[in-house]
A and B are shown apart, each in its own frame.
Chain A
Amino acid sequence: MSVDLAAVRRIAHLARIGVSEAEIPHLQHEINAILAFVEALGEVDVEGVEPMTSVTPMRLPMRDDVVTDGEIAAKVLANAPLTEDGFFLVPKVIE
Chain B
Amino acid sequence: MTDLTSLTLAEARDRLASRAISSRDLTAAHLAAIDRAKGLNAFVAVTAEKALAMADASDARLARGEGGPLEGLPIGVKDLYATEGVHTQACSHILDGFKPAYESTVTANLWRDGAVMLGKLNMDEFAMGSSNETSYYGPVASPWLPPNFSPTQARAALADKGKRGLMAPGGSSGGSSSAVAAHLCLAATASDTGGSIRQPAALTGIVGIKPTYGRCSRWGMVAFASSLDQAGPLARTVRDAAIMLRSMAGPDPKDSTCSPSPVPDYEASVGRSVKGLTIGVPKEYRLEGMNPEIEALWAKGAEWLRAAGATIVDVSLPNTRHALPAYYIVAPAEASSNLARYDGVRYGLREPASEIVDLYQKTRASGFGPEVRRRLMIGTYVLSAGYYDAYYLRAQKIRTLIKRDFEIAFGNGVDAILTPATPSPAFAIGAMASADPVEMYLNDVFTVTVNMAGLPGLVTPAGLSADGLPLGLQLIGRPFDEETLFALGEAIEQAAGRFSPPEAWWA
| Chain A residues whose C-beta falls within 8 Å of the C-beta of B356 in the assembled complex | 90-91, 93
Please state if B381 and A41 are interface contacts (CB–CB under 8 Å): no
Q: Does B259 contact A (CB under 8 A)?
A: yes
Query: What is the total number of residues of chain B having a CB less than 8 Å from a CB of chain A?
Result: 74
Q: Which parts of B11-26 form the interface with A (CB within 8 Å)?
A: none
Given A18-B364, A88-B345, CB of A56 within 8 Å of CB of B213: yes
CB distance from B286 to the nearest CB of A (A): 19
**B contact face: mostly helix, strand, loop, or mixed:** helix
Binding site for B on A (CB under 8 A): 1, 3, 7-8, 11-19, 27, 30-31, 33-35, 37-42, 44, 46, 49-56, 58, 60-61, 63, 72, 75-76, 78-82, 88, 90-91, 93
Query: Scoring B residues 377 to 403 as 1 if CB is less than 8 Å from chain A, else 0, what string do you get?
Result: 111110010010011011111111101
Count A-B contacts at CB 8 Å. 165
| Chain B residues whose C-beta falls within 8 Å of the C-beta of A15 in the assembled complex | 336, 364, 376-377, 379-380
A49 to B402, CA, bound (A): 11
A27 to B372, CA, bound (A): 12
Binding site for A on B (CB under 8 A): 97-101, 212-214, 227, 253, 256-257, 259-260, 319, 321-322, 325-326, 328-329, 336, 340, 343-350, 353-362, 364-365, 368, 373-374, 376-381, 384, 387, 390-391, 393-401, 403, 436-438, 441, 452-454, 479
Please state if A52 and B396 are interface contacts (CB–CB under 8 Å): yes
A26 to B374, CA, bound (A): 11
CB distance from B215 to the nearest CB of A (A): 9
Given A17-B365, A55-B454, A91-B356, CB of A79 within 8 Å of CB of B378: no
| Chain A residues whose C-beta falls within 8 Å of the C-beta of B453 in the assembled complex | 55
| Chain A residues whose C-beta falls within 8 Å of the C-beta of B390 in the assembled complex | 1, 42
| Chain B residues whose C-beta falls within 8 Å of the C-beta of A35 in the assembled complex | 378
CB distance from B362 to the nearest CB of A (A): 5
Please state if B362 and A18 are interface contacts (CB–CB under 8 Å): yes
Closest A-chain residue to B372, C-beta based? A17
| Chain B residues whose C-beta falls within 8 Å of the C-beta of A13 in the assembled complex | 361
Instruction: Kindly list the 9 A-B residue pairs having the minimum CB-CB distance in the complex, ordered from nearest.
Output: A55-B454, A18-B361, A51-B396, A79-B347, A81-B350, A18-B365, A75-B101, A46-B397, A15-B380
